[in-house]
Structure 1
Amino acid sequence: MSTQIVERPGATWTTVHRVVLPMDVDADDLALYVDYDSAVSAGDGVAARPGDVSDAPAGDAAQPSRSVAYRSEGHRENVRGRRGLAVDAGSRVSFGTYFNAFPASYWRRWTAATAVRLRVDLAAAGTVVVYKSNARGLRQRVTACAVAAGGTFTADLSLAAFGDGGWYWFDLVAGAEATALRSAEWQVTDAAGGAPAARSTLSIAVTTYNRPDYCLALLRALAGAEGVRAVLDEVIVMDQGTQLVQDEAGFADVAADLGDQLRVVRQGNLGGSGGFSRGMRETLRAGRSDYVLLLDDDIVVEPEGVLRALQFAQWCRRPTIVGGHMFDMFDRGVMHSFGERVERYRFFWGSVPGVRERHDLSAQNLRATPFMHRRVDVDYNGWWMCLIPMSVVREVGLSLPVFIKWDDAEYGLRAADAGFPTVSLPGAAVWHVSWLDKDDGLDWQAYFHERNRLVAALLHSPYDRGGRIFRESVFTDVKHLISMQYSTEALRLMALRDVLSGPEHLLASLPTRTAEVRAARKEFGDAQASADIDSFPQPKAVKPPRKGKEPTSPNRFTLLPWAAGVVARQLTPPEEVATRRPEKHVAAMDATWWRLAHLDSAVVSTADGTAAAWYRRDPRTFRRFLRESAAAHRDLWLNWPQLSKAYRAALAGFTSPQAWDEVFDASTVSIATGTQLAADPAVGPVGERR
């Protein structure tokens, strides 16, 4: 018998991961659920075919054995609802996929589970083959069994060998006649053969701002989700916009379906931090749920992931934040990142080392993707989907009052400091609108990028004066100035001044700062975009590029003399013709600081391609902002230790429910779904359930 097979007679097994098929059968979605590709091993002497994907050269025996995917079209017509799949005679399908393989290493590391049981029910005779992988992505065959029509295959499998990574999955093989999966599921038990004593429930908090169509679609998906309603106390929608979800066609039907499991809370636009803090606060006040699940409004949710996150959290050995991954809504097989961290010396977010960003699982499946087999430990999970235990909320408080940016990352760091880890759980995910066509570091959000990163570093950086963050802030200011992005620099200086004013500004400015930031930005020409590029004067080059070549980025050896020359040029008046006509049109992808630094003016496209703005060099503005940046950074350097102490001392106060209540009370009107406010005695003037 294989050492991976275990015997647990009399054990209680809990279903934590059901095998599912997509809600809407789509060619891009299907590859995340069932894999029709063959999978052979690179290094086994198998010649690579055109289109093969591998991390090791085919035929190289010195390389470790890794799966190679032969891409093929899936058979959408074989999907039988959410649980069933037909398999044609002589065919083989694999459930070694993102949504249906079992992430054994995560259960091994974080939960009390010690074994997993696979149950597969077949409607027709077929063969079930079970595989496992290790942290390197190498696969092993565990066991196989022929199953009669209407039969059930069961295998009890150990989790002991998954310390650093690895998954379990199964393939289904049809013989001379077709077979069909009726259902399959993964169940777990602990060392004592038991299970969690009580079933947990959750509330779902959705923050929305003028996306009523997206929000209604999300509510409709939750209302129809098998199993979710049974563990749901309520969905709380924080509607912060002027285009209300309750006014969207079809809302009344969804509200009637959800009944008292839906509540809409109206409040002023307090951003993601204000919306999700309100969701935490309402869940805390109601006192019914064990968890609050934060969901963005502009997502498509896989409802099974909600159940998996809840089950995983129940089994964790200590209270644990459980997050879901994010796929691209418009490129459905593409995952943005498999795990996020805050790099402490830079104090900047990004993917965990070794994780490939924007990996396309529809082109290179899970079995052929070694980096996804190593367990990825994270610092935080984005609040597009994040399940937070109420015990964590009670101990560490609500979000930073920062409107947007760094609220989710800081919360993960704060929870970790209090002993509560975050896990980004494979198999729990949403599809979200991609941010690749955005550059929110240039628009009004630049203020929040700068201020909130500095605040988070003051609270959590282990390095003297924040490590590299100070130097990066100075360099970023210079880059924006030499790029003629004066509106961005104005907002960054505003952010620096607010940080220097101390922690009191966070709560005091939350309801008004966004409007003030937007108003300040409009004063600058580089912020005045037009959708019609012909509304700008036609370009006229002042002089051709040097030696006919476009500027390139300076390297570490040439940076200082290059910077000295560029800064000196910024102090001289621009060419007169460049004040009347742009020198050229510059695409957003080409608008790098080392290119823009050589121009006196340019019409630059926005990142999403919908508009363009006229950048014009202004030596007077350059000098003023450079002086102000130098002064602000000098003060930040000198006062960092005192500021850090002040922000850390005030943290518990400005993240407390009581502090947030004052903000909510000033901005909130509560609406009882489907009824007049006066007719619902369960809803008070600020949405409080008595």
Structure 2
Amino acid sequence: MSRRLLMRQVMPLDRDLEVMSLYVDLEDARLDEDKYVVGGNSGAKALNAAQIRQATGTGRRVAVEQLVDRTTFKVLPGQSVSFGSMFNGFPASYWRRYTIVEQVRLEVTLEGRDGHVVVYKSLANGNSQRVDSAVVEGDGAESFTFDLPLNSFVDGGWLWYDVIAADAPVTVSAQWTAEVPEDRAAHGTVDMAITTMNRPDWCAKLLQQLGDPDLTGYLDTVFVMEQGTKLVVDDAEYPAAEKALGDKLRIIQQGNLGGSGGYARGQLESVRKGTATYALMMDDDVICEPEGIIRQVTFGDLARRPTIVGGMMFNIYSRSRLHSFGEIVQPWRFLWMTPPDAYMQWDFSTRNIRSARWLHKRWDVDFTGWFSCLIPRVVIEEIGLSLPVFIKWDDSEYGLRARAAGYPTVTLPGAAVWHVPWTDKNDALDWQSYFHHRNRLIAALLHSPFKRGGRLLRESLNNQIAHIVAMQYSTAELRLQAMEDILQGPQHLHEMLPTRLAEVNALRKQFSDAVLVPDRDELPPVKRAKLSKGKSISEVPSRKSQLLSAAKAPLRQLRPPRDLSREYPEAEIPALDAKWYQLAKYDSAIVSMNDGTSAALYRRDPELFRDQMKRTIALHERFRREWPELAQAYRAQLHEITSQEAWARTFGIEESS
């Protein structure tokens, strides 16, 4: 047996105080109420849900001088600091469930008179228990060792330590280790697969982060799939990236085959090279915590079976805010989502781990997004490369495919990147809506356990009608095209990759709602012959009101538009309030985009409404009728279209070896 480092105490690389709540916690623990105490009353549950979101922080801040170095923190006199945080707490339940580790050793080194360390563990319900403690006897440095079994973490729970300083400052460093078999003592290596397109500045800075000296021994090759016209090698930051990574860096130029084409190329190159244990998919527009990659590799090395190990995604604009603790594909709806009991957009600067019960439960996931996702090479060799779908659903489909082959996915706390949040994008309406809809349906054809995809077709029909009555005709048209393309069969997916984006963009430009105008003054002023007496568009209607709108909105579309609406928009609606039930009230409107850069003029068109509705109903009925045969065809072709050979032909490198 050998002793192996599992994780160490770390501080942020850039000494950014905005993210300190992810590393250390100065606040008290104020645990929310247990859901079984709250009970099943809807009012009580709603009140409790609101209280869970309420901030418990007092605003205590870490001083810059407390960040001694990358692994050492100074606790000020009279201060109590908890390391039960995202990056320094030990996620015991994940190690208990998925790895061979049965006991961990916490080694804490304190320097400072009367420095006090207290070790805690929590249960899956968030209740915590004091496990052990120690005190520095003299003025010098002293190390303390705590051996901690993992047998009690079957459903959830963390391990962590608090450090308390008396009258003198106390510096602290710590690490978590475990006894492992000799054949697990050495760490694996990783090929990074980064897909980039016209983000040379972002990508060059990311490459510099990957040049962190602590990562050197873990990196085999860093593949950058360059698919744009603004090249990373031409960026002013690139020489520093090239110097940091040296001969580990390899730039591969290819046509724009989307994220799936970029990641598939990285997977193919990694498998053909055959020298790295893992391939790690990572977006180009992220800020990386290098320590997280080391933890992903370590967890993968010690997993019971080959396991996909993902990192979490924090908001790059609000860096203490977590997008999601993990994601599943809900089988009946076949929609990716945060598990029902978990919370999205959780801000650790306002409510810490020790104050939120739900954060102590282990969240088992179906997939991890490819903003940071470690895939064992043996998994890629067995189940194939990415689905050739350009973007969207490639990562979630891969997780489902891996699970069907017996390989789980773990989204590991303590491994993360910072990324632009999905909520700041317009991908449900723009050209990406084609890929969202097509690829969701393809993934369901491949993996839905229900004979006709469960609720998916009904939900697709409802969403399609909502887009049409909201005057989002370009989006509705792209979704119809997506369904028609699926009917052509899986054998056409590879040939569509190089051309479909251009064709999609050309199609949507035929509709006024897809013509984006940066300058609002280029659009006509709002003018109506008769002012509305309705409620403010910023008010969220009740469920009953929305159902009434859903019943009346299609009927209203058959009326001729008001004359004045052909020349002037009837309203100006911000992206935040541009819901279908608001837009359906108007014959024309100026609607701003989610990213804040532009706006579009929507105009109601009864003739187009009739045409799209007719085709929508016909296509959905055909899908309902032909689903079993379609599913069989796609499942029969899955191995072929994700094979190394098929992708090599698409890349034009079939002669390579």
Q: What TM-score bracket applies, with the shorter chain setting the length?
A: over 0.9
Q: Is the 8 A contact 1:13 1:117 kept in 2?
A: no
SS in 1 for 2:141: coil
- 2:291 maps to 304
Match of 2:471 in 1: 484
Separation in 1, partners of 2:306, 2:109: 34
TM-score (norm 2): 0.93
Q: Report the counterpart of residue 460 of structure 2 in structure 1.
A: 473
Q: Say if 2:151 is the partner of 1:160.
A: yes
Aligned counterpart, 2:229: 242
Query: Residue 301 of structure 1 contacts residue 429 of structure 1 at CA under 8 Å; is this kept in 2?
Result: yes
Q: Distance in 1 between matches of 2:576 and 2:184?
A: 52
What SS class does the counterpart of residue 424 from structure 2 fall into? coil
Aligned partner of 2:606: which letter? P
Instruction: Return the alpha-carbon distance in structure 1 between the equivalents of residues 535 and 142 of structure 2.
Output: 73
How far apart, CA to CA, are the structure 1 residues paired with 2:133 and 2:384? 50
Q: Given that residues 205 and 241 in structure 2 are in contact (C-alpha distance below 8 angstroms), is that contact kept between their aligned partners in structure 1?
A: no
CA distance in 2, matches of 1:544, 1:581: 14
Any idea what the Cα deviations from partners look like across 1:514-571, whole Å, max 9, x if unmatched?
Answer: 1100110111100011111111111112433246666988877677765453222212
Q: Supply the distance in 1 between the matched residues of 2:23 and 2:545 (Cα, whole angstroms).
A: 51
Which amino acid in structure 2 is aligned with residue 451 of structure 1?
A: R
1:176 aligns to what? 167
Match of 1:31 among 21, 26, 34: 21
Partner of 1:151: 142
Corresponding residue for residue 432 of structure 2: 445
Structure 1 residues without counterparts, runs of 5 or longer: 1-10, 44-54, 667-684
Query: Of the candidates 208, 211, 220, which is equivalent to residue 233 of structure 1?
Result: 220
Letter in 2 for 1:511: P
Counterpart Cα distance in 1 of 2:645 and 2:540? 50
Q: In structure 1, what residue type is equivalent to 2:160? A: W
Name 1:343's counterpart in structure 2: 330
1:124 aligns with 2:112: yes
Partner deviation per Cα, 1:52-77 (whole Å, 9 max, x = no partner): xxx9999xxxx99xx96544112222
Instruction: Decide which of 252, 263, 272 is 2:259's aligned counterpart.
Output: 272
Q: Could you report, residue by residue, the CA deviation over 1:285-340 in whole angstroms, capped at 9, with x for unpaired residues?
A: 11101100111000001000000000000100000000000000110100000010
Q: 1:194 to 1:552 in 2, by over 3 A?
A: same
Q: Output the amino acid matched with 2:604.
A: R
Change (3 A) 1:452 1:19: same
CA-CA distance at 1:81 after TM superposition: 1.3
What is the deviation of 1:137? 1.0
581, 584, 587: which is aligned to 2:574?
Answer: 587
Q: Deviations over 1:600-639 (max 9, x none)?
A: 1011111112111110011111111111112211211111
Give the Cα separation in 2 of the matches to 1:547 and 1:238: 52
Deviates more, 1:349-358 or 1:256-265: 256-265
Which of 289, 304, 315 aligns to 1:317? It is: 304
Q: 2:508 aligns with which of 513, 521, 532?
A: 521
SS at match of 2:217: helix
**Which segments of structure 1 move beyond 3 Å, counting only runs of 4 or more?**
38-43, 55-58, 67-71, 546-565
What is the match of residue 179 of structure 2?
Answer: 189
CA distance in 2, matches of 1:287, 1:464: 39
Displacement of 1:171 = 1.1
Q: Percent identity?
A: 48
Deviates more, 1:89-98 or 1:462-471: 89-98
1:284 aligns with 2:275: no
> How far apart are residue 177 of structure 1 and its match?
1.8
Q: Which residue of 1 aligns with 2:651?
A: 664
Give the residue type in structure 2 aligned to 1:566: A
Opposite residue 598 of structure 1, the aligned amino acid is: K
C-alpha displacement of 1:241: 0.7
d(CA) in 2 for partners of 1:562, 1:88: 59
Q: How far off its partner does 1:88 sit?
A: 1.8
SS across alignment from 2:102: strand
- Flag the 1:663–1:154 CA change in 2: closer, same or farther, 3 A: same
- The one of 629, 641, 647 equivalent to 1:642 is 629
Q: After superposition, what is the alpha-carbon deviation per residue over 1:460-490, rounded to whole angstroms, capped at 9, x for unaligned?
A: 0011210100101111111111111111111
What is residue 127 of structure 2 aligned with on the other side? 138
**SS in structure 1 of the partner of residue 153 of structure 2:** coil
Counterpart residue number, 2:603: 616
Judge conservation of contact 2:192–2:221 (CA < 8 Å) in 1.
yes
Contact conserved, 1:293 with 1:387, CA < 8 A, in 2? yes
How far is the alpha carbon of 1:27 from its aligned partner? 2.1
Contact 1:42 1:56 in 2 (8 A): no
- 3-state SS of the aligned residue for 1:614? strand
Could you say if the C-alpha distance between residues 634 and 233 of structure 1 is closer, same or farther in structure 2, counting changes exceeding 3 Å?
A: same
1:393-433: CA deviations, max 9, x gaps? 01110011001010000000000000000000000000001
Match of 1:22 in 2: 12
What is the CA deviation profile of residues 364-409 of structure 1, one whole-angstrom value per residue up to 9, with x for unaligned ones? 1111121111100000000000000001001110011001010000
- Pick closer, same or farther for the CA change 1:150–1:57 going to 2, 3 Å: farther
1:19-98 → structure 2 map (5 Å cutoff): 19-39=9-29, 69-98=57-86
Structure 1 counterpart SS, 2:93 = helix
- Are 2:281 and 2:371, in contact at CA under 8 Å, matched by a contact in 1? yes
Q: Give 1:252's aligned amino acid.
A: P
Which of 415, 428, 436 aligns to 2:415? It is: 428
> How many angstroms does 1:250 deviate by?
3.2
Q: Take 2:47 and 2:559, find their aligned partners in 1: how far apart are those partners?
A: 56
547, 564, 581: which one aligns with 1:577: 564
The equivalent residue for 1:105 is 93
Give a deviation string over 1:200-220, Cα, whole Å, max 9, x none: 111111111111111111110
Measure the CA separation in 2 of the matches of 1:260 and 1:560. 60
Q: Given the superposition, is the C-alpha separation of residues 558 and 20 from structure 1 closer, same or farther in structure 2, using an over 3 Å criterion?
A: closer
RMSD in angstroms over aligned alpha carbons?
Answer: 2.4
The 8 Å contact of residues 486 and 526 in structure 1, kept in 2 or not, is answered as: yes
1:655 aligns to what? 642
> What do residues 213-265 of structure 1 show as CA deviations (whole Å, max 9, x unaligned)?
11111110111x23211121110111111110111113223213322111000
The letter for the 2-side match of 1:134 is L
Secondary structure at 1:151 match in 2: strand
Supply the distance in 2 between the matched residues of 1:549 and 1:38 (Cα, whole angstroms).
Answer: 41
SS in structure 2 of the partner of residue 13 of structure 1: strand
Q: Distance in 2 between matches of 1:117 and 1:530?
A: 59
1:487 aligned partner, one-letter code? S
Against the structure 1 CA distance between its residues 366 and 538, is the aligned structure 2 distance closer, same or farther, given a 3 Å change threshold? Answer: same
Distance in 1 of aligned mates of 2:63 and 2:549: 58
Indicate if the aligned counterparts of 1:39 and 1:70 stay in contact, CA closer than 8 A.
no
Provide the secondary structure at the position in 2 that maps to 1:604.
strand
Write the letter of the residue equivalent to 1:132: K
Question: Contact 2:9/2:88 (CA < 8 Å) preserved in 1?
Answer: yes
Alignment of 1:207 with 2:195, yes or no, is yes
